[in-house]
């Protein structure tokens, strides 16, 4: 039926091998034969300390799934350390998960952090300018002191235990870490509680995700095209001249290599120039 043109997928003609998601609409001879029977779920959850952001309900006793005990299948977007608390999204929409977790989209995540000793202006400045951890330099970020022992920080990347590692680099130990915002959505429920996204939040979130994906497509093409020619063109250049020099010297005469070969070509060239 696909080859005969009788099937359409989201108002276009599909090809063999196309995958159909639960939101896709499939028509045969103009009649809808698929329907989305599963309702989209988007939750704002305030993860408490000691809760683990994993879907492993058999191997992890303190997992987030059993804690929420939601009547339908959901999973977390991203993660928070067991010792950390705060905002995390829960959903059954795999598409939005992939868009939010793409590091290149630079989605903002804001945290409140308390440390074990007084925060200084020098510490705030160095934290914001990038910190060498895990073999890389963290992106520049916005850091503001909120009290003598605490600060707020806005990240656009999600390295493993990033804030804790950044603080450790300067001799600070994190006492409390709480995520208060992801993109346009702020934490506004008590620890251990959750709520649904509002329509306004969801529409604004989708707009931000659509815009960031578009900008990434244009930037990735330009960045990926430049390094490829450079790596291909550099290696062949030194090999060609070295092969040409080796051939005339190694074909006929092996013993007088250092003496006769270097002298005869020179005399022929010089004599040829004098005659001309």
Query: So which residues are the catalytic ones?
Result: 81
Task: Please name the residues in contact with 156: beta carbons below 8 A apart, sequence gap of 6 or more.
Answer: 106, 107, 108, 109, 139, 141
Contacts with 65 (C-beta within 8 Å, 6 or more apart), sequence order: 54, 55, 57, 74, 75
DSSP state of 115: E
Check if the beta carbon of residue 37 is closer than 8 Å to that of residue 43. Answer: no
Reduced to 3 states (helix: H, G, I; strand: E, B; else coil), residue 201 is: helix
First to last CA, the chain: 81
Alpha-helical (H) ranges within 15-120 are 64-68, 94-101
Residue whose C-alpha is closest to residue 90's, from 160, 210, 192:
192
Q: What are phi and psi of 223, to 5 degrees?
A: -75, -30
């Amino acid at each position: 039926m696909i080859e005969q043109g009788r099937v359409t997928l989201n108002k276009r003609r599909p090809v063999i091998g196309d995958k159909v998601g639960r939101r896709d609409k499939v028509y045969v001879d103009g009649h809808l034969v698929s329907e989305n029977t599963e309702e989209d779920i988007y939750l704002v959850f305030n993860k408490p300390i000691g809760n683990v952001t994993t879907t492993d309900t058999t191997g992890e006793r303190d997992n987030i799934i059993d804690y929420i005990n939601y009547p339908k299948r959901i999973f977390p977007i991203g993660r928070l350390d067991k010792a950390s608390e705060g905002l995390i999204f829960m959903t059954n929409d795999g598409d939005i998960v992939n868009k939010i977790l793409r590091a290149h989209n630079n989605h903002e995540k804001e945290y409140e952090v308390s440390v074990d000793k007084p925060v200084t202006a020098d510490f705030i400045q160095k934290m914001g300018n990038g910190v060498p951890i895990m073999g890389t330099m963290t992106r520049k970020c916005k850091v503001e002191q909120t009290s003598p022992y605490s600060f707020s920080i806005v990240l656009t990347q999600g390295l493993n235990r990033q804030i804790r590692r950044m603080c450790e680099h300067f001799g600070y130990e994190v006492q409390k870490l709480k995520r208060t915002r992801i993109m346009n959505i702020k934490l506004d429920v008590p620890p251990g509680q959750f709520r649904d996204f509002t329509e306004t939040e969801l529409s604004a979130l989708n707009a931000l995700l659509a815009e960031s994906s578009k900008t990434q497509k244009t930037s990735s093409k330009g960045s990926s095209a430049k390094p490829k020619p450079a790596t291909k063109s550099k290696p062949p250049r030194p090999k060609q001249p070295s092969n040409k020099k080796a051939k005339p010297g190694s074909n006929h005469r092996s013993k007088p290599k250092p003496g006769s070969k270097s002298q005869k070509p020179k005399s022929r060239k010089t004599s040829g120039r004098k005659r001309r």
